[in-house]
Amino acid sequence: MEARPHPKDQFQHQTIGQLMGVAGYCGLFLETCRDFETFKKYNTGGINLEISVVDLTTGEVKPAQQIRVEEGWTVEELKQYIGELFNLNSSCMRLLRLLELDEARSVIHLEDVKSSLKEVLFKGDVFSSHKLHREQLVVPTIYVSSDSIDYQKEYKDSLMYRYVDFYFNSILLDITLPPPQPEATLNTTNVTEGGTIMKIISINYEEDKRKVQVQVDKRITLAQLKEKLVPLIGVPPTGFIVYGISRYGESKYEMTDLDEIILPGSKLIVRLGRPLGKRECRIKLYLLQVNNTDFCKYMMESIVAKGTPVREFKKQIIEEAKVQGIDCVLELDKMRLRYKRGVYPRAVYLDDQMIDATKETHYVEPLKGPEKKKHKGQMQVYVIRWHPSQCSVDPIEEIILDNNDPKHVIEKLSELSGVPTEYIYCAKSEPFPVELSCLDIENKLQWYSITSHRLYSLELYGDGDVIYYKDNRETMKELTDKERSEIHKAEEARMKKISECMYQHWL
């Protein structure tokens, strides 16, 4: 196909400047034909149109092609001409015109077949009063479909309307999906009676997930999107959760407002599980066993209503742990729930307190006996007995303090150990888990006794703090090189485990 001037064009030897004269703007219409075809007569006052055919079997809106028609034609004559050019049946043809005013777009149904093109295309047009429509500063776009069944439907109920409306009111979303469940089905285009459409642009399969780019109506709500995803996932909307990813991808958040409008370009992650209901929060639970090498172990995720008493939540945890087959023994009166900050166990929640919905992670800590902390004014402190004569420590225990008076602390340590208060020496350490080698305990900590002038420097601030203590009558053991090496190796392995755990929990 080649472009060439009309052989009878009397202006073919003139320059563009000569043709334009003093005009500041000039529109050019390029017409082409094959060698065996002849150009149709070009009439001054004709109208340039862009024709885009809509394939109702796939929903594809095909690229527009420009044609030139007569200003005096009726809509019916335009249909016949389009039918000839594009090999379509004009008797069941539907025409839609795109109207753009400022940033607003609307689609007009050209249904009055007796109206002239001048009336339907330029009536009320801002250019018509100045007769600038002849200059064709903006070429009208006409969307065309030809389908005998769809043509019988009311305009707003037709596939034609839905596809064109979707074409102008759609956005792209990137969604990560779990592997399909048995009931999942895959369709590239999903059209519902309500008219909302979701079209799959691309899908990439990875080991345990699928990355899908979809085109959806920009007015779609979270509830509507979940309905559209059901065929892809194979479970009902109540069986999966949608997470939004923050702008820079550093965090994700659960989307719970079903009326929320999805933003253009959103990146979403879908996971199987029960979505949150109103006034519910999702809490990740970790098993805390301070004397185990694997002291911080993920248990499960649990959903609890805001305002639930801690004791009721404990009952729920016990039942859910049984159902999920979690390997731990939990008894209602021999367990505690506490805030987990990174890997650090902090505030202990009492049974009559309400669940703190602002905290997303909690520790479940099995106890040897009933909870000894009875009110908020008390403080739970871990204590580690240091044996200088053996260069070793006892398993971690705890004491409950009524106040942070150092003398009260030493009295509690004496009750626990049986060592008279005058022989108790203690030192404040960093919170659990402690990264302090047995080889450094004696010399790196600042030890205090009940007679120390600076005993107030214990600086206990809250639940989960750690105190080392010793019987000062013990003398420091002289280690052989072999013993020192063995202790060093064991302590390095312990602290490596702690470091790995802290890194995993972003601390």
pTM of full prediction above 0.85 = no
Nearest Cα residue to 107 out of 57, 59, 167, 61: 167
**pLDDT confidence of 146, banded at 50, 70, 90?**
very high
pLDDT tens digit string along 414-443? 999 999 999 999 998 888 998 899 999 999
pLDDT digits (tens, 9 = 90+) for 384-400: 999 999 999 999 999 99
pLDDT at residue 126, as a whole number = 44
Residue 293: its pLDDT value, please?
86
Range 403-410 contact pairs with CB under 8 angstroms and sequence separation of 24 or more: 403/377, 404/379, 404/458, 404/460, 406/448, 406/450, 406/455, 406/456, 406/458, 407/450, 407/455, 409/381, 409/458, 409/460, 409/467, 410/449, 410/450
Q: Read off the pLDDT of each residue in 117-138 and give the average, rounded to a whole number.
A: 57
3-state secondary structure at position 148: helix
What would the mean pLDDT of 56-75 be, rounded to a whole number?
89
Q: What is the pLDDT of residue 484?
A: 93
pLDDT at 90: 93
Q: Looking at residue 507, what is its pLDDT?
A: 47
Q: How many CA atoms lie within 13 A of 397 on its CB side?
A: 15
Tell me the average pLDDT across 12-24.
Answer: 66
Query: Each residue of 182-221: pLDDT tens digit?
Result: 766 766 655 454 556 788 889 998 888 899 999 998 889 9
Write out 349-370 in H/E/C secondary structure: ECCCCECCCCCCEEEEEECCCC
d(CA 230, CA 222): 13
Indicate if the pLDDT at residue 501 is higher than 70: yes
Confidence of residue 129 (pLDDT cuts 50, 70, 90): very low
Q: Over 90: is that where the pLDDT of 175 sits?
A: yes
Q: In what order do the strands lie in the sheet with 280-288?
A: 296-305, 280-288, 361-366, 335-341, 344-349
Looking at per-residue pLDDT, the higher value among 254 and 31 belongs to 254
Q: 94-109: per-residue pLDDT in tens?
A: 999 887 765 567 788 9
Domains, the chain, ranges and CATH?
2-166 (3.10.20.90), 169-272 (3.10.20.90), 280-366 (3.10.20.90), 379-491 (3.10.20)
| Sheet of 252-254, strands arranged across | 189-191, 197-205, 210-217, 170-177, 267-272, 240-245, 252-254
Tell me what the mean pLDDT of segment 17-21 comes to: 66
String of DSSP letters for 427-471: EEEPSSSP---TTTHHHHS--B-TT-TTGGGG---STTEEEEEEE
CB 154 within 8 A of CB 189: no
With bands split at pLDDT 50, 70 and 90, how would you rate the model's confidence at 315? very high
